[in-house]
Structure 1
Amino acid sequence: MSIIRQTWMLLILLVATSYSGSLKASNDFVVVANLQAGIDKMSKDEVINVYMGRNRKLASGINAQPIDLESPLTEKANFYSVMVNKELPEISSYWARLMFSGQGSPPKQVMTTEQALEIVSNVKGAIAYIDRKKIDKRVKIVFDPLRS
């Protein structure tokens, strides 16, 4: 193998390694709910079931309204990676199949964390995943991946 080819292979390997390392999922989020939702805690399975459309009610009996963040997209990708071990194209495909068959619709999409917090603070059944540094007193934490 020539030195040029070896150098290119090493460069490609380094770029791929650094890129995949930057995409590692982190537990920097929490799932929050409305203060009046009637729930104090959710298990990982309960959160997954609500976000994947398998359960349409919270444990309190209130209709669940999960909120997905569109921006930054990395938060959404991180949430689904940690919670269901799936990448966003897989999640999109999952919802396309369910919508096509009439079995459900994906979580409500919002552009910012502030929009998610506003909806959760005003809608009893709303839940959202939020960067743990951005939560405030309008909502309560019902799931923390670091404590599950």
Structure 2
Amino acid sequence: MAARRYPRLLAPALLLGAFAGAPACAADLVVIVSARNPVATLRADQVAAIFLGQAVRFPDGAEAVPYDLRLGASTRDEFYARVTNKTPALVKAHWSKIVFTGRGQPPAELPDSVAVRRRVADDPEAIGYIERSALDASVRPVFVVQ
């Protein structure tokens, strides 16, 4: 009987260990569009494609203009890790290849979540990601970063 119980007890311990390495200050992140944008929701793969330059349009066909947080921002690193499964070095390498081959440019960078929210609110074609705490009625969350 004890041999059967051991795996059950081990699984929760392994799960707790897996979360122990996660940053304690991980922010709740949301992907946003202007309140004037008709897009209601996006999937993770659609968000990743837009921010990696693989898609330049929203699913409804309207142009999608992504905005990034500044290079080195922990929120930016967290966003790319969770949505694209890429480290900052892999994101940099990805964009270096895209730029070198002339297939695109990385998203414009803004200094913080408030600046992203303001830019996205002013442009129905814009898309960005911010900390949930920076949300207001001028923008609409279309994806919650898990």
Q: Shorter-chain TM-score: what band?
A: 0.7 to 0.9
Match of 2:145 in 1: 145
Match of 2:49 in 1: 49
Gaps of 5+ in 1: 1-19
Opposite residue 140 of structure 2, the aligned amino acid is K
Match of 1:21 in 2: 21
Match of 1:118 in 2: 118
> What RMSD, in angstroms, separates the aligned Cα atoms of the two structures?
2.0
Q: Return the TM-score normalized by structure 1.
A: 0.79
Query: How far did 1:66 drift?
Result: 0.7
Match of 2:35 in 1: 35
Find the aligned partners of 1:52 and 1:26 in 2 and give their Cα distance: 22
Deviates more, 1:63-72 or 1:116-125: 63-72
Opposite residue 96 of structure 1, the aligned amino acid is S
* Superposed counterparts of 1:1-148, under 5 Å: 21=21, 23=23, 26=26, 28-70=28-70, 73-146=73-146
> Over residues 75-127 of structure 1, what are the superposed CA-to-partner deviations in whole Å (9 max), with x where a residue is unaligned?
00000010111111110111011001001111111112111111100111111
> Over residues 14-67 of structure 1, what are the superposed CA-to-partner deviations in whole Å (9 max), with x where a residue is unaligned?
xxxxxx936479461010101122200001111011001111001222210111
Aligned to 1:83, what secondary structure does the other structure show?
A: helix
Find the aligned partners of 2:72 and 2:99 in 1 and give their Cα distance: 25
Contact 1:25 1:82 in 2 (8 A): no
Structure 1 residues 27 and 48, CA gap change in structure 2 (3 angstroms): farther
How many equivalent pairs are there? Answer: 127
Gaps of 5+ in 2: 1-19
Q: Return the TM-score normalized by structure 2.
A: 0.80
Contact 1:32 1:130 in 2 (8 A): yes
Find the aligned partners of 2:97 and 2:61 in 1 and give their Cα distance: 27
